[in-house]
Amino acid sequence: MPSVFGKDSKRKELINNLHLVYEKIEREQSIPLGDFPKIERMQDILRNMDFTKFRPLDRRLIERIDKMLSEDVPRLMSMIPQEEHAYLQLNSQSESGNAPSGNTIFSDQQETPFSIGGIEGINAGIGEHEWIVERSKHEYDQVFVQLSPQNGKITGASAKQEMIKSKLPNNVLGRIWKLSDIDKDGMLDIDEWALSQHLGKNEWQSFMC
């Protein structure tokens, strides 16, 4: 850390202008603002820190972590058997007491158009013959082609660079990726890509509401 940060005036200036630092990091590192700590909380922490003890930024380490998140983690996720996922989901429902009990009309868990938001947002298109994604698929397909797919698919790294433009938090983008990578091969074909964009669009609308 440069010695200038040892000066109290510069230290106070940095803390007071922390929002500018956030914006710079978001722009240069493509990190959504939703992934940053709350700015007031971070300012309180920094006021009690000795800036002279901060270590220089290790860019090689950041590159390795980024590679792990974009390539290694999706590859590991693809190794998890679908049967295990189904078992864990069923077990979780049983432990939380959400498993259906009895056969009355009020215990039926099937979604209907009369449910709250039943045919809106992520549920839009339920019961229709046309795949809901098709309505905007021509737009998604154009972006897919621009990402230079190889053998009909784009890599996780290529998809990430486009998906982070949505400014959604990384944990949300991670869930969208898992839902879209149907065959769990760590890449997306043109239909999987369209699905990811449809899900991202719905998530963004829910964030804005």
Q: Are 111 and 123 in contact (CB under 8 A)?
A: yes
**Residue 128 CB-half CA count within 13 A:** 12
pLDDT digits over 148-183, tens only? 999 999 999 999 999 998 888 888 888 899 989 999
Residue 49 pLDDT class (50, 70, 90 cuts): confident
Q: How many CB atoms lie within 10 A of CB 115?
A: 12
Among 182, 176, 183, which Cα is nearest to 162's? 176
Among 92, 73, 42, which Cα is nearest to 174's? 73
Give CA–CA dist 68/109, Å, rounded: 39
Q: What is the pTM of this model?
A: 0.44
Instruction: Please report where in the chains the tokens 């043109």 appear, as a residue.
Output: 190
Amino acid in position 138: H
Lookup: tokens for 76 = 């590991």
Among 17, 29, 7, which Cα is nearest to 160's? 29
* 153-155 and 187-189 beta bridge pairing: antiparallel
The CATH number of the domain covering residues in 58-76+131-209: 1.10.238.10
Q: Could you give phi then psi for residue 189, rounded to 5 degrees? A: -85, -175
Cite the beta strand spans of the chain per DSSP E. Answer: 153-155, 187-189
Q: How many helices (H) and strands (E) does the chain have?
A: 10, 2
The residue extents of the domains of the chain are 3-56, 58-76+131-209
Lookup: tokens for 193 = 């890509």
Task: Tell me the three state secondary structure of residue 203.
Answer: helix
Instruction: Tell me the Ramachandran region of residue 33: left when phi exceeds 0, alpha when psi lies from -120 to 50, beta otherwise.
Output: alpha
Indicate whether 199 pLDDT > 70: yes
pLDDT digits over 98-150, tens only? 544 444 433 444 554 444 444 444 455 455 556 778 888 899 999 999 999 99
pLDDT digits over 54-73, tens only? 888 788 887 888 788 777 77
| Cβ neighbours of residue 103 closer than 8 Å, sequence gap 6 or more | none
